Each structure stands twice: as C-alpha cells, then as structure tokens.
Structure 1
Amino acid sequence: MPFYTLTPNIPGDLGENAVLDTSVHPPRVERLHIAIDNWFGEDVIKLFPVHLVTEPLAAAMVESGLRAFELRDAQVTIEPEALELVAQLNLDGVPDFRWFDVTGTAGQDHIGLSGKARLVVSEQALQVFQRFSLEGCDVEEYDPAKHG
C-alpha cells in the first residue's frame, strides 16, 4: 500500500497558553494554543509538532472509519493579520480547527507520524484529505529514508 507525506502550511505560532514538554523530541504538547496570522483557506495546517484540521475535515476523518488519530480541543486565536488576509481572499472567515493528534506509525497505519513528526497517510486517508482544501500543502510519496 502506498503512503504519502502531507506538509501543510504553517499559519502562525504557538500562543502564550501552549504548554509543551521539551525534555523529549519532538516536544510533547500538553495544551495547544495556536495564534493564526496567515491562513489561506486550507483545511489542514501544521505547527511543529502538531497538526490541526477544520471541523468538516475532522468529521470526514471520523466518518471514514480510519483510526490512529484523536481529535482534541485546541485554543485558536485569530490575529488581525489573518482576518485581513481572509477578507482579501474573499473567504467566508476562519473555521473552527481541531487538534489532529496522530497516534499511528508512519508507513504502517493509515495515519502516522514519521520520526521527524511528518504527517504520513495511506492512499485511503489521502482520498479523504483530497475532498477538502489542501492549498499550499505539499503531497509526495513517502520515502522513509528521506522523510524519517
């Protein structure tokens, strides 16, 4: 079964309420707060070492029956710069995001993280993601030697 890496845009920074355990690598996120300042309409975003998905994509992932992830709450702050960009791009606003906490192993489960915290998905999972906006998200065939 082929696997693919998804490398989404990074739309901002960790917010002041984020709590990370940096004694391990990649850092373990205990509480997620992201401050979005440059969102372009995509349904999956990344902020090392986590990924977030919009509510509609989260629902589709649950409905797909695919496993190896948990949907968790995240505090998301929308900065004025993001609102200006949304208006310039004629988007309907910034949707609600869920923390897409990946629990699977890259190249084995339908959804996994590589050792470098890259999102790796099966063909079946990729088809679900492709029903949504992957604008700015690089998709390439997974190579364990390259993507770790």
Structure 2
Amino acid sequence: MAHFVIEPEVAGGLGARTVLDRSRHPPVVQKLHYEFDGWLGDVLLESFPAFIVTQEAQQALIEDGVTGVRFDDVEVSLSATFQETRPGAALPRFVWLRPEGEPGRDDIAVARDGRLVLSQRALDIVQALGLSQARVDPFTK
C-alpha cells in the first residue's frame, strides 16, 4: 500500500496551556492546547509537533479500522485575531490525533523528521471529509 507525507493546514499554534517535554526532539507533547488564529476548513490540522482532527474524521478513521493511532482530548481556544476576523464563527469538535505507528507499515505514523505519514487508506478518509489545504507527497523510507 502506498504511503504519503502530509503537511496539514496550520490554523493556529500551541496554546499557553500546552505541556511539552523539550528534552527530546521533536518535543513530546504531554497535554495539548491548540489555539486557533484562523481556519480554512480542513479536518486535519497541525502545530508542530502535534496534530488534531475533527471528531467526524476521528470516527471515520476508527470505523475504517486504521492502525497506528490513538486519540486524546485537546483543549481548543480562539485567539483574539480569530475572534476579530471571524466573529461568531463556530468550530466543529476537535480531538488530538496521536500517531504511534511505524511509517510505511501502519496507516498513521510520524517520520523521523516529525512529519505525518498516512497510508492511502487513511489519506482517502480525510480527503473525503476535507483536506484541501494540506501538502501531500509520496513517502519513501
């Protein structure tokens, strides 16, 4: 099965309440707070070194039985910039996508450089739900 390196939309950044272990590279996120500055609508987002997906995408990935991932809670907030430029905008519920697989073998993994790797199957799922802003390149080991 083909695998791809995905560089998702960056719709914000790590919020002030994110807890990181910076003794390793890439840093290990222990608690994730994602603060939105904007959002163009993709179901998969990034703020290095973390990824989030909409709850709808989480459910679709689980229902399809993808391997190499677990999900966790994420705290989401809106920056002053987001509130000024998109007053009254509502976001869907997001969850923390925590890749644990082996790149090139599992459906979801992280390459050594911290980039997300998805199988064709996982990519098809998120693309069907909305992934127009992401860069997608073939993955080679």
Superposition TM-score tier, normalisation by shorter sequence? over 0.9
Task: Spell out, residue by residue over 1:16-65, the C-alpha distance to the aligned partner (whole angstroms, 9 max, x if none).
Answer: 11100000111111111111112111110001111100010011011011
The answer on 1:12 being equivalent to 2:12 is: yes
Give the match's secondary structure for 2:63: helix
Aligned to 2:53: 53
Q: Distance in 1 between matches of 2:29 and 2:73?
A: 12
- For structure 2, which runs of at least 5 residues remain unmatched after alignment? none
- Percentage identity across paired residues of the two chains: 31
The residue aligned with 1:96 is 93
**Whole-angstrom CA distance in 2 between matches of 1:130 and 1:35:** 23
Q: Please give the per-residue CA displacement for 1:77-132, whole angstroms capped at 9, x wherever unaligned.
A: 11242245446xxx962111100000001111111110011111111111111111
Name the counterpart of 2:76. 76
Of 118, 122, 126, which aligns to 1:125? Answer: 122
**Distance in 1 of aligned mates of 2:100 and 2:68:** 5
Question: Conserved in 2, the CA contact under 8 Å of 1:2 and 1:122?
Answer: yes
Find the residue that maps to 2:128 and give its secondary structure: coil
Match of 2:106 in 1: 109
Q: TM-score of the superposition, structure 2-length normalised? A: 0.92
Bigger drift between 20-29 and 78-87 goes to 78-87
Tell me, in whole angstroms, the C-alpha distance in 1 between the residues paired with 2:59 and 2:84: 28
- C-alpha separation in 2, matches of 1:68 and 1:46: 18
- What are structure 1's unaligned runs of at least 5 residues? none
Structure 1 Cα separation of the partners of residues 2 and 72 of structure 2 = 28
SS at match of 2:46: strand
Which amino acid counterpart does residue 63 of structure 1 have in structure 2? E
Counterpart residue type for residue 110 of structure 1: D
Letter in 2 for 1:13: G
Distance in 1, Cα, partners of 2:83 & 2:113: 31
Tell me which residue corresponds to 1:21: 21
With over 3 angstroms needed to count, the CA separation of the structure-2 counterparts of 1:85 and 1:138, relative to structure 1, is farther
Return the alpha-carbon distance in structure 2 between the equivalents of residues 10 and 46 of structure 1: 5
Using the size of structure 1 for normalisation, the TM-score is 0.88
